[in-house]
Amino acid sequence: MIEAEVQAVYSDGALSLHTRSLKYGKLGQGLLVQVSPSLIKRRKTHFHNLTCGASVILGNNGFIWLCPTPEETEEEAGGFITNLEPIALADREVISRLRNCILALASQKMLLYDTSILYCYEASLSHQIKELLKVEVMEDIVLETRQRLLELEG
- pLDDT for residue 150 is more than 60: yes
Q: Of residues 85 and 21, which shows the higher confidence score?
A: 85
Burial of 111 (0-12, 13-18, 19+ CB in 10 A): middle
121-154 burial string, b = 16+ CB within 10 Å, else e? bbbbeebebeebeeeebbebbbebbbebbeeeee
Per the prediction, the chain carries an average pLDDT of: 87
What's the confidence (pLDDT) of residue 46?
86
Position 9 scores a pLDDT of 87
Q: Sorting pLDDT into bands at 50, 70 and 90, what band is 74?
A: very low
Record the pTM: 0.81
The pLDDT tens digits for 107-138 are 999 999 999 999 999 999 999 999 999 999 99
- Of 129, 118, 111, 110, which is closest to residue 53 (Cα–Cα)? 118
* pLDDT reported for residue 22: 57
Please give the share of the chain, as a percent, with pLDDT higher than 90: 62
